[in-house]
Amino acid sequence: MLPEAIRQTGKKFSETVAYVSHEGKTITYRELDLLSDEVAAWMRTKGLSEGSVVALCLPSGIEYILSYLAAAKLGAVTAGINPRFTESEQLEVLKTLEPDLVLTSQSIDAPELRDAQVELVETSSDSGFFMRSNRVQSDELSILPFNIDRAVCICFTSGSTGIPKGALFTNRQLQAISTIDTGGAWGGAGHRYASTEFAHVGVMTKLPWLLASGGTTHLIEKWKAEPVLQLIHDHRISAVSAIAPQIALMLQVNELDRFNFDCVKAIVTGGALASPELVKAGREFFGAPWSIRYSSTESGGVGLGTSLDADDEEALYTVGRPRPGIEATIRDEEGRPVTAGDIGEIWIRSNAVMSCYWNDPSSTEETIVEGWLRTGDLAFQDTRGCFHLAGRTSEMFIRGGYNIFPLEIERVISTHSNVSEVAVIPRKDEIMGEIGVAVIVPKDMNDPPTIEDIREHSQKLLASYKLPEAIRITDRLPRNASDKIDRLKLRTHEDR
């Protein structure tokens, strides 16, 4: 699907700039097609062919896109290695992957590998010289016939509950994702910015329709609120795409009235809790509706979402309903559907769900059951059919015989006037077994809330057994490579 997409866009949007690097380098759709042919020819000299596996330990730049397209033209499988992974995480991922070729750059501290072929990708500060040491001019790059079941990419999870796992996607899933996200539309896009690492499912599985949209993507070396706001202002970007903490940082930028955001038509976030107060503030500031999306790596980056025209009950407190082409249900530990209002695990079924975990049949068997994806996320469904997240199955803890779901508590605590961010984690207790600890980033570090403040604020909406019994104040919450709260680090701190 990727080779077909770039060949068509190379013709339809020939001289349109496809990507602009943070240094101002540009590449057109025609150049993407032509240069990726030459990179593919070079890869072929390194032994790559249909079914080979290539790992990209590269920054999220134009060279990454060229390498991914080139591998797809050969029928090879591409895995992105998040450069924000630690060296040990990268090693574990590469051991699981067993790649035939690893591409890296001087800007990435990639781990040393004994049995893999490692090649350095040259980056250029000048447009037109991309990967010049990794290209071979060839007039005979054969076009592979389209195969709906050909493996295309492997996306690794964030590893929030252990070693990252590799979700495998074929042309079949990428085609379904394009249909779910855009209906298979071509063209119509203007400018946008890249808000995630390219190794993320949000790029790896969505590149076909991102190319087909014919838009210009501005690349960011390191995400910072003010430069992103400047991009939105300068290029009249119509959609603000981010995770909730990034929106919060945008709203803290000084002298916001110097920007004009009447171009913004929608705010779309996923990957982190968006408090009702933040949603209200973001909608007011940008003058646009806010859609909260819920998905996972394994689901292909598509799942549930709140409607842009939703009322406050849906928009502020839920993750909406299944998007077209998605089935979702909530089930108990035995896999049986639960009644409305009861908490259980979200199961998802669609043509976009991964084929399997790469080289991990046991985890695949546990996760995909009769075509349904067990997400590991807990939620309940209200009478209107909207889903309310309650946390991860791995995050739930038991206090005095009661199941405690951290996300439910965090949602309430986050409405406190002096709470910027919060995470609730368990601490061992001799009497209750476990108690809740609220780890809080206050809005005012000089006057942080006390445990009494938090309990008093929360007691009207939470049963007494759900209220946290300890508090920890910090200036920031640790985050993993996907910008999700790293609860393993938080819990390790509590266990000391």
Q: Are 422 and 440 in contact, with CB atoms under 8 Å apart? A: yes
Residue 30's contacts (CB-CB under 8 Å, 6 or more residues apart) are 10, 11, 14, 15
- Of 180, 196, 218, the residue at which a domain comes to its end is 218
Q: What is the pLDDT of residue 243?
A: 85
Distance CA 55, CA 79 (A): 5
CA nearest to 377, candidates 410, 348, 352: 348
Q: What is the pLDDT of residue 164?
A: 82
CA nearest to 259, candidates 234, 242, 289, 223: 234
In a domain, 380, yes or no: no
Q: What is the pLDDT of residue 128?
A: 66
Across the strands, what pairs with 387? 381
Q: What is the pLDDT of residue 79?
A: 97
Distance CA 474, CA 244 (A): 19
In a domain, 280, yes or no: no
In a domain, 457, yes or no: yes
Q: What is the pLDDT of residue 109?
A: 63
In a domain, 200, yes or no: yes
* Model confidence, pTM: 0.84
In a domain, 328, yes or no: no
In a domain, 357, yes or no: no
User: Can you give the pLDDT of all 496 residues of the chain as single tens digits?
Assistant: 899 999 999 999 999 999 999 888 999 999 999 999 999 999 999 999 999 999 999 989 999 999 999 999 999 999 999 887 777 778 888 888 999 999 988 666 666 665 668 888 877 656 668 988 899 987 778 889 999 999 999 999 875 556 789 999 999 999 999 999 998 888 888 999 998 889 999 999 999 999 999 999 999 988 899 999 999 999 999 999 998 888 988 998 999 989 999 999 999 998 767 888 889 999 999 999 999 999 999 999 999 999 999 999 999 999 999 999 999 999 998 999 999 899 999 999 999 999 999 999 999 999 999 999 999 899 999 999 999 988 777 778 889 877 788 888 998 999 999 999 999 999 988 778 789 999 999 999 999 999 999 999 999 888 888 999 999 999 999 887 667 788 878 887 665 4
In a domain, 268, yes or no: no
Q: Are 450 and 130 in contact, with CB atoms under 8 Å apart? A: no
- Of 161, 195, 218, the residue at which a domain comes to its end is 218
Q: Which two tokens stand for residue 107?
A: 């800007």
CA terminus-to-terminus distance, the chain: 50
Please give the residue range of the domain that contains residue 439: 395-495
Q: What is the pLDDT of residue 153?
A: 98
Residue 126 CB-density burial (10 A; 0-12 exposed, 13-18 middle, 19+ buried):
exposed
SS (H, E, C) the chain: CHHHHHHHHHHHCCCCEEEECCCCCEEEHHHHHHHHHHHHHHHHHCCCCCCCEEEEECCCCHHHHHHHHHHHHHCCEEEECCCCCCHHHHHHHHHHHCCCEEEECCCCCCCCCCCCEEEECCCCCCCCCCCHHHCCCCCCCCCCCCCCCCEEEEEECCCCCCCCCEEEEEHHHHHHHHHHHHCCCCCCCCEEECCCCCCCHHHHCCHHHHHHCCCEEECCCCCCHHHHHHHHHHHCCCEEEECHHHHHHHCCCCCHHHCCCCCCCEEEECCCCCCHHHHHHHHHHHCCCEEEEECCCCCCCCCEECCCCCCHHHHHHCCCEECCCCEEEEECCCCCECCCCCCEEEEEECCCCCCEECCCHHHHHHHEECCEEEEEEEEEECCCCCEEEEEECCCCEEECCEEECHHHHHHHHCCCCCEEEEEEEEEEECCCEEEEEEEEEECCCCCCCCHHHHHHHHCCCCCHHHCCCEEEECCCCCECCCCCECHHHHHHHHHC
- Of 218, 233, 263, the residue at which a domain comes to its end is 218
CATH number at residue 436: 3.30.300.30
Q: What is the pLDDT of residue 395?
A: 79
In a domain, 168, yes or no: yes
Any idea which residue has 């996200």 for tokens? 181
CATH number at residue 114: 3.40.50.12780
- Count the domains in the chain: 2
